[in-house]
Chain A
Amino acid sequence: MVLEFTPEAQARIREIVLRYPTREAALIPVLYLAQDEFGSLSTEAMELVARQLELPLARVLGTATFYTMLRKQPVGRFHLEVCRNVSCYLRGSDGLLETLTRVLGIAPGETTGDGLFTLDTVECLAACGSGPALQVNGEFHENMTPAALEQLIARLREDGTA
């Protein structure tokens, strides 16, 4: 399937390209736009970005595959990213992960069968003073406890199935 950007996204791309002296420099911002628009960076989405910026596909692939936040695979409706680095570990991040694997029935790197939740571990989120921390779709949840996390999951499940 050949993908296209919406007119709004195209206007945004024109604006982004103007900030830089090379089209290549617009690559990461435009890859984010494609990811937001199509959910993940499929081969078709990367081909579209290459066409749009008039860059070789290899350049787009080279950059897209280097950065973990540029996702080549789709994620569930709620993307849970739990910090496992030292400061959060000292404050109990292992307990958060145990809670999530138990409540959701999935291991890190997996998505629930209903497509609602994807669980990932991540490295430091710069929330060390308020750890343990996780992000849900990029939004911070800090000073988490297993109990608060179970409530959060219940709330998200309600939102997701409503």
Chain B
Amino acid sequence: MNATNHLLRTAGAGGDLASLAGYRAGGGFKGLRKALLMSPGDAVETVKKASLRGRGGAGFPAGMKWSFVPPPDGAGDRYLVVNADEGEPGTFKDRHILSRDPFRLIEGCVIAAWAARLTRGFIYVRGEFRQIIRDLERALEAARRAGYLGSRVLGKDFSFDLHVHPGAGAYICGEESALLESIEGKPGRPRLKPPFPAVRGLFGRPTVINNVETLALVPLVFELGPEAFLGLGAERDGGPKLYGVSGHVKRPGLYEFPMGKNLRELIYEDCGGILGDRALKGVIPGGSSCPILLPGEIDLPLTFDSVARAGSMMGTAGAIVIAEGTCMVQVALRIARFYAHESCGQCTPCREGCGWMARTLARIEAGSGQPEHLDLLLELCDQIQGHTICALGDAAAMPVRALVKKYREEFIRHIAEGRCPAASP
């Protein structure tokens, strides 16, 4: 499968894409001009036909999401919210788009606003991206001055303005309703659904929330046309995809392929294989919440549906590769400790359960584990998953359960010997 260069490119025909002049000279805003020739309804249909699925992890069809917003009622603003709170461990794709190709994101936002008839937008950028926040504010100002944002966008009877809103170090704000709470100035605690954000979202108004990569692909849908965009992908997944690979490979980093890149090929060919030519121990395919795959399970195309059939999730397509010699108790501990730290605390199973899992794993790691701890961990996973308002609890339970089940012998030895049988990391 040949690499594509739609999202990874950093320079176009006109030079640096991070400048408005460079972006325009490289063909930027062509998609927007095409979209503005269509009715909003036709623009939504175009994105549906392209089968652009949400790149934030859930894979929900973007066009479908846009069509859930009720028609304008004249009672106030309708919002676009860009989820740029990239924080799922193993994920580092949106940071690339935000810093290297910001106008493509802005163009995608304006098209989304036209299609779903939205009037204002916020790009919620995680607080740790300080430089990106500053640069993005300048890019938005440049786009505003050039008539791509503000009142009467490109002379059309259509107004849309877009601002940056900074996050402040809470992973939970990547959950869409917690993100809305955070923009409203409150602690990021997820809301009960329904009502869904499309109907009652930011400030109680209709709201579309999309991931950075999803919106950055929208201009391409209109440039190529929906058939060609769909044709680039595989199965029910249209378009190209950014794949991140981290951990024990020779060439970690971001790769772009048509949707459906084979995971084994990605690791052994594109990334050059395992660091130090060690044996492979496991791959977490799409961010830390995805159940780990054993070496025998990775010969599969990376699409939302195919990874789900293999018992895991494609998630954000940020694969973490783990070589033989790594302590899986440590890996589980790092994951559990992360989710325990990031639990917002409003649901008891998640607040208490994640901490309990992390403490139990810490005891095993420290050599004071007991044989019954393994069943306790699995029991905790069952008590957390499905019993909370948002998916953070599930995100903690799924990887821990998979690690305990798939590497059970190692966990048992770790407990029996009171130390790690592997030389880590």
Name A's B-contacting residues (CB within 8 A).
19-22, 24-29, 31-32, 59, 62-63, 66-70, 84-87, 89-92, 94, 122-131, 135, 138-139
Contacts and interface: CB of A to CB of B under 8 A. Distances in A.
A21 B185 CA distance: 12
Given A123-B342, A129-B254, A28 B185 contact: yes
Contact of A69 (B128, B252, B326): B128
Nearest to A92: B425
B186 A89 contact: no
Contacts of B344: 66
Given A28-B166, A138-B130, 15 more contacts: A19-B163, A22-B203, A25-B183, A28-B167, A28-B182, A67-B127, A69-B167, A70-B169, A87-B247, A90-B246, A91-B425, A123-B341, A125-B128, A129-B245, A129-B246
Interface string B29-67: 000000000000000000000000000000000000000
| Interface residue range, chain B | 35 or more
A85 B185 contact: no
Interface string B320-361: 101000100011001100100110100000000000000000
B278 to A, nearest CB: 12
A129 B171 contact: no
Contacts of A68: 168-170
Interface string B125-169: 011111100000000000000000000000000000001011111
Contacts of A84: 334
Contact of A126 (B87, B245, B326): B87
A39 to B, nearest CB: 16
B365 interface: no
A63 B341 contact: no
A86 B331 contact: yes
Nearest to A84: B334
Given A92-B425, A126-B94, A128-B91, A86 B185 contact: no
Contact of A86 (B253, B335, B342): B335
A24 B170 CA distance: 18
A139 B130 CA distance: 8
B322 A127 contact: no
Contacts of B168: 28, 31-32, 67-70
Contacts of B318: 128
Nearest to B77: A21
B374 interface: no
Contacts of A59: 185
B203 to A, nearest CB: 5
B203 A21 contact: yes
A89 B330 contact: yes
Contacts of B246: 87, 90-91, 128-129, 131
Contacts of B90: 86-87, 124, 128
B87 A24 contact: no
A86 B320 contact: yes
3 cross-chain pairs, A with B, having the tightest CB-CB distances, nearest first:
A67-B168, A69-B169, A27-B185
Contact of A129 (B183, B253, B284, B425): B253
Interface string B243-266: 011111000111000000000000
B338 A124 contact: yes
Contact of B170 (A20, A67, A131, A138): A67
B425 A22 contact: no
Contacts of A32: 127, 166, 168
B320 A128 contact: yes
B297 interface: no
23 contacts: A20-B203, A21-B203, A28-B185, A59-B185, A62-B187, A63-B187, A68-B168, A69-B168, A86-B284, A89-B331, A90-B246, A90-B320, A91-B247, A91-B252, A94-B425, A124-B87, A126-B128, A128-B246, A129-B92, A129-B245, A129-B252, A130-B92, A130-B252
A74 B252 CA distance: 36
Contacts of A63: 185-187
A123 B89 contact: yes
Given A86-B331, A90-B320, A90-B425, A67 B185 contact: no
Contacts of A138: 128, 130-131
B95 interface: yes
B188 interface: yes
A124 B163 CA distance: 25
Nearest to A86: B334
A24 B76 CA distance: 18
B248 A62 contact: no
A32 B126 CA distance: 13
Contacts of A129: 92, 244-246, 252-254
A87 B320 contact: yes
B288 A86 contact: yes
